[in-house]
Amino acid sequence: MPVPDALGALKDAFRVRRIDGPLPRALDVLHTSSAAAAPGGPDNAFLLAGDGGFHLLDRPDPELLARTVPAGRPEAWRTLDATVLHSVLLEHVWRIPDGPEDIRYIHDTEAAVEQAERHGGTAVLMRPVHEDTVRGLAEQGVTMPRKSTSFGPKPATGLVLRDLDQN
């Protein structure tokens, strides 16, 4: 989905602000966006890229969240950026199926932006989940949203064989 289409579909679902400057500045704005959340309101935020600029989505409509985020889960799960991305943006607002032909998960922010620009798509950049949130939900037996705990860089895997017989 091209960025103009993604932004156009939002209507009043989120506040949208254009962020001027390079990617590092836009990421700084994203990472500090919770401080700009409306008092008592949700603090979800996303950075859209792919049209040569950056667009901060924040201050989601609380009524929309209440209608679209699945109930019956802990509040910590319901308020995760990844939950809001999947339940609100992908499923409800953009109506994009969560399949490999429609969505690619790219762990490098620069590569994600470059791919979106090259292919006329939209990169959705998110803040990382705090370790204490992951741990707290895991202790409750709650499964995290897809790819929300896909951390990088990954350690190298392999197998080392060694003869333990010293003779």
Position 159 scores a pLDDT of 65
Domain for residue 56, yes or no?
Answer: yes
Q: 33 in a domain, yes or no?
A: yes
Strand partners, 125: 47
Nearest to 108 by CA among 17, 18, 23, 22: 23
Measured between alpha carbons, how far is 115 from 104 in angstroms, rounded to an integer?
Answer: 10
User: Does residue 164 form part of some domain?
Assistant: no
Q: What is the pLDDT of residue 152?
A: 59
**Domain that includes residue 122, residue range:** 3-139
CB 152 within 8 A of CB 107: yes
Supply the pTM of this predicted model: 0.83
> What is the number of structural domains in the chain?
1
Structural domain includes residue 72: yes
Average pLDDT by consecutive 10-residue portion of the chain (167 residues)? 95 93 94 70 89 95 94 91 94 89 88 95 92 89 79 62 65
54 in a structural domain: yes
- Residue 34 placed within a domain: yes
- From the list 3, 36, 33, 41, the residue with the least C-alpha distance to 124 is 3
Q: E-strand spans in the chain?
A: 15-19, 45-49, 54-58, 123-125
In a domain, 122, yes or no: yes
CB 132 within 8 A of CB 76: no
27 within domain boundaries = yes
What is the model's pLDDT at position 151? 62
